[in-house]
Amino acid sequence: MAAIAVKGCVIVGEIPSQLGLLALYKKKCEKCSWEEAAASAGLIDPQTKEYLIGFSCPKCKNLQDVIIKEA
C-alpha cells in the first residue's frame, strides 16, 4: 500500500489504519508553488482507492483539487 500524489499535494507519510490508508500530505499550489507548512491527513476511500478535496491557495487564490490515490 502506498499513497501517491496525483495532483495538488506532496505526500509526506502514510499510516495504515483499520478504516483504510491514512495519507499525510501538504497541499501544494500548482500555479504559484505555495506549499502548506503543516501536514494534513486524509483517509483514502478503500472502495475507490482515492482521496479528493478542493482548496483555494491562500497566496494566489487559485482553486484546485488535491487528489491522492492508493496503489
Instruction: Give the residue, chosen from 29, 44, 66, 68, that forms a contact with Zn ion under the rule CB under 5 A.
Output: 29
Q: Are strands 20-27 and 40-43 parallel, antiparallel or unpaired?
A: antiparallel
Cα angle: 37, vertex 32, 67; to 5 degrees: 70
Number of C-beta neighbours around residue 59 at 10 A? 12
- Judged by beta carbon, residue 17 or residue 61, the one nearer Zn ion is 61
- Judged by beta carbon, residue 29 or residue 66, the one nearer Zn ion is 29
Interacting residues with Zn ion between 3 and 22 (CB under 5 A): none
**Residues of this chain that bind Zn ion (CB under 5 A):** 29, 31-32, 34, 57, 59-60, 62
